[in-house]
Amino acid sequence: MKRAQGNRSKLVEKTIRIKICGMREAANIVTVASMRPDYLGFIEYPLSPRFVGYKFRMPALPSAIERVGVFVSETLENVRNRIKVVGYDAVQLHGDESPDFASKMRDDGVKVIKVFRVDDNFDFNETKPFVGRVDQLLFDARGKQPGGNGIRFNPMILRRYDQEVPFFLSGGLQPETLKENIAELSEMNLYGVDLNSGVETAPGLKDAFRVQTSINHINDLRKNR
């Protein structure tokens, strides 16, 4: 396996995972699931245009696909309730959740992805309290909304990250440039990519061709990495 450059080098993940986030419509969920992404994400934030709604129930999906509930500054009680009702395997914490909050989720047996919204001025020391308390981080572009803004950030700022916890890359990723985006991070602790608005025809509705193209690109990279 490759190693990240620098004195604080960490093992770089050999397998790149793919997460399709912002799923909402039952038929569309089933279609995307048939393409076998590693993760599907479901927005549990009422102010998002991709909010699944309080009556959402998970359709039958292949067991290999992990179901991720995406929460923004929600209470521990409400997150636990939605995990129980919907059947999430993991949670993505996209708000001001504390390291202790993340630890309690993991104590419940739930995988935890902690999101950081970054820009050129981001202080990566903010990630350090979450080491040992989360499974992965996710770096998204800082925008008006907590996520799904469809904008990129300069991936070279991730050179300032210590690579301690493997991470998802997010923020306006498009199938057409996905290989290039990943190549830029080839010596970093990249765990996977998170696609949302870049594979949509409308908020919450994924384009099957763009999703399949993205998955094909990832599969090509898996063979050659």
pLDDT band at residue 13, thresholds of 50, 70 and 90? low
Quote the CA–CA distance of 172 and 136 in Å, as a whole number.
Answer: 19
Q: Which residue has the tokens 């301690």?
A: 164
> Structural domain boundaries of the chain?
17-224
For 85-139, write each residue's pLDDT tens digit. 999 999 999 999 999 999 999 999 999 999 999 999 999 999 999 999 999 999 9
For 137-192, write each residue's pLDDT tens digit. 999 986 556 555 566 788 899 999 999 999 999 988 999 999 998 988 988 999 99
Task: Report the SS3 class of residue 213.
Answer: helix
| Confidence (pLDDT) at 7 | 35
Longest Cα–Cα distance of the chain, Å, equals 49
Residue 219 reports pLDDT greater than 70:
yes
Quote the CA–CA distance of 18 and 154 in Å, as a whole number.
Answer: 20
Measured torsion, CA atoms of residues 107, 100, 98, 190, in degrees rounded to the nearest 10:
-50
| Confidence (pLDDT) at 217 | 92
pTM (two decimals): 0.90
Provide the CATH number for the domain formed by 17-224 in this structure.
Answer: 3.20.20.70
| Confidence (pLDDT) at 208 | 97
